[in-house]
Structure 1
Amino acid sequence: MNTAAHKLALALVVFGLPGTAFAQTGPTEQEENTRDGGSRSRVVDINPYIEARQVLTTELEPGSDTVTYTGLAVGVDATVANRYSSGSIGVRYERRIGWEDGSLDGDTISGIARGSLALVPNVLTIEAGGLASRTRVEGDGNTSIGGFGTTDGGTSQIYSAYAGPSVRTTAGPLQVEGHYRFGYTRVETPDALVLAPNTAPIDVFDDSTTHSAQARVGVAPRTVLPVGLSVGGGWNEQNISNLDQRVSDRYARADVTVPVTPTLALVGGVGYEDVEISSRDAVRDEDGIPIIGSDGRYVTDSSGPRRIAYQTDGLIWDAGVMWRPSTRTSLEARVGRRYGSSTYYGTFAYAPSERTSINISAYDSVNGFGGALMNRLSSLPTQFDALRNPITGDIGGCVAALEGGNCIGSGLGSIRSSVFRNRGIAGSYSRQFGRTSFGFGAGYDNRKYIGAPGTVLASANGVVDENVWLAAYASTQLDRQSSLTANGSVNWMNSGFDDSGTAVGYSASLAYFRNLMGGLSATAAVGLDGISRPDLNDFMAASALVGLRYSFRPTRGD
Structure 2
Amino acid sequence: MTSRKLFAASARALALAASALLAVPLAAQDFGGQDDFDNTRGRGNARAVQPYIEVNQVLSAELSPGNDVLTFTQIASGVDVNLQGRNSGIAASVRFERNIGYGDAIDSSSVSGLLRGTLAVVPNKLNLEAGAIGVRTRVDAGGGTTINPLVREDQTSQLYSVYAGPTYTDRLGVVDVAAVTRVGYTKLDLNSAVVDPTGGRLEAFDDSVSNVGQVRAGVRPGDLLPIGIAATAGGFQEDISNLDQRVRDLYARADVTVPVTTSLALVGGVGYEKVEISSRDALRDADGNPIIGAGGQFLTDPASPRILAFDVDGLLWDVGVLWRPSSRTSLNARVGQRYGDTTYYGNFTYAPSQRSTFAIDVYDGVTGLGGILNNGLARLSNDFDVVRNPVTGDLGGLVTGGDGAFGIGNLGSVRAAAFRGRGVRGSYQRQLGQLTAAVAAGYDRRTFIAAPGTVLGAANGITDENYYINAGLSRDLGRNANLTANGYINWFQTGFGTGDVTATGGSIAYNRNLTSRLVGRAALGIDYFDSEFSPEDIAFATALLGLRYNF
**Equivalent residue in structure 1 for 2:505, among 484, 487, 507:** 507
- Alignment-derived partner of residue 221 in structure 1: 221
**Residue 144 to residue 207, structure 1, CA distance change in 2 (3 Å):** same
Render the CA deviation track for 1:235-260: whole Å, top value 9, x for unaligned: 11100111111011110000000001
1:98 matched to 2:97? The reply is no
> Which residue does the alignment assign to 2:24?
none
Alignment CA distance shift 1:354-1:44 (3 Å): same
Structure 1 stretch 216-225 or stretch 288-297: which is displaced more? 288-297
Q: Which residue of 2 aligns with 1:286?
A: 286
Query: Which whole-Å CA distance do the structure 2 matches of 1:108 and 1:168 have between them?
Result: 39
Q: Deviations over 1:458-506 (max 9, x none)?
A: 0000000000001000010112111111111111110001164x42111
Alignment of 1:363-442 (within 5 A): 363-403=363-403, 406-410=406-410, 412-442=411-441
Contact 1:530 1:539 in 2 (8 A): yes
Equivalent residue of 1:374, what SS?
helix
Q: Find out whether 1:151 has 2:157 as its counterpart.
A: no
- Measured after TM superposition, the shift of residue 199 of structure 1 is 4.5
Find the aligned partners of 2:79 and 2:307 in 1 and give their Cα distance.
Answer: 46
Which of 56, 60, 67 does residue 57 from structure 1 map onto?
Answer: 60
Query: What is the CA–CA distance in structure 1 between the aligned matches of 2:59 and 2:192, rounded to whole Å?
Result: 22
Aligned length: 520
Specify whether residues 360 and 187 from structure 1 end up closer, same or farther in structure 2 by C-alpha distance, changes over 3 A only. same
| 1:519 lines up with 2:517 in the alignment | yes
1:126 to 125, 128, 134: 128
1:474-489 → structure 2 map (5 Å cutoff): 474-489=473-488
Alpha carbons of structure 1 residues 293 and 98: separation in structure 2 relative to 1, 3 Å: farther
Does the 8 A contact of 2:421 with 2:444 survive in 1? yes
Alpha-carbon contact 1:147-1:389 (below 8 Å) kept? no
Write the letter of the residue equivalent to 1:285.
D
Counterpart in the other structure of 2:472: 473
Indicate the residue corresponding to 1:175 in structure 2. 176
Question: How far apart, CA to CA, are the structure 1 residues paired with 2:331 and 2:157?
Answer: 37
How do 1:16-415 residues align onto structure 2 when only pairs under 5 Å count?
24-27=34-37, 31=40, 41-103=44-106, 105-151=107-153, 153=155, 155-191=156-192, 193=194, 195-196=196-197, 198-403=198-403, 406-410=406-410, 412-415=411-414
Quick one: which amino acid aligns to residue 26 of structure 1?
A: D
Residue in 2 aligned with 1:542?
A: 541
Deviations 1:77-121 (A, max 9, x none): 111111121221110111222222342x13211011112111101
Q: Per-residue deviation at 1:55?
A: 1.0
| Preserved contact between residue 420 and residue 447 of structure 1 (Cα < 8 Å) | yes
Residues 398 and 405 of structure 2 are in contact (CA less than 8 Å); yes or no, is this contact kept in structure 1?
no
Task: Give the drift of 1:454.
Answer: 2.1
Name the CA shift for 1:210/1:390 in 2 (closer, same or farther; >3 Å).
same
Q: Is the 8 A contact 2:108 2:154 kept in 1?
A: no
User: Aligned letter for 1:311?
Assistant: D
Residue identity matched to 1:204: A
Q: Deviations over 1:210-242 (max 9, x none)?
A: 000111001000010000001111111100111
Deviation at 1:268? 0.4
- Mapped to 2, the partners of 1:207 and 1:23 lie a distance apart of 20
Counting aligned pairs with the same residue, the percent is 49
SS state at 1:409 partner: coil
Letter in 2 for 1:403: D
SS at match of 2:407: coil
Which stretch shifts more, 435-444 or 292-301? Answer: 292-301
Query: Quick one: distance in 1 between partners of 2:461 and 2:261?
Result: 44
CA contact (8 A) 2:237 2:249 kept: yes
Contact 2:105 2:152 in 1 (8 A): no
Task: For residues 104-139 of structure 1, give each alpha carbon's deviation from its aligned partner in whole angstroms, at most 9, with x where no partner exists.
Answer: x13211011112111101110111111110111110
> For the Cα contact (< 8 Å) 2:71–2:105, is it kept in 1?
no
Contact 2:46 2:82 in 1 (8 A): yes
Give 1:294 deviation, angstroms: 3.8
Q: 2:228 is matched by which residue type in structure 1?
A: G
Q: What is the SS of the residue equivalent to 2:413?
A: coil
In the TM superposition, what whole-angstrom CA distance separates every residue of 1:497-548 from its partner, at most 9, and x where no partner exists? Answer: 1164x42111211111011012001111111122102352322221111111
**Structure 1 counterpart of 2:408, one-letter code:** I
For the 8 Å contact 1:176–1:216, the answer to whether it is kept is yes
The change in CA–CA distance for 1:299 and 1:539 in structure 2 (over 3 A counts) is farther
Say if 2:336 and 2:344, in contact at 8 Å, map to a contact too: yes
Structure 2's unaligned 5+ residue stretches are 1-30
Q: Name stretches of at least 5 consecutive residues in structure 1 with no aligned partner.
A: 1-20, 35-39, 553-558
The answer (yes or no) to whether the contact 2:98–2:109 under 8 Å persists in 1 is: yes
Equivalent AA in structure 1 for residue 231 of structure 2: V
Q: Which moved more, 1:283-292 or 1:221-230?
A: 283-292
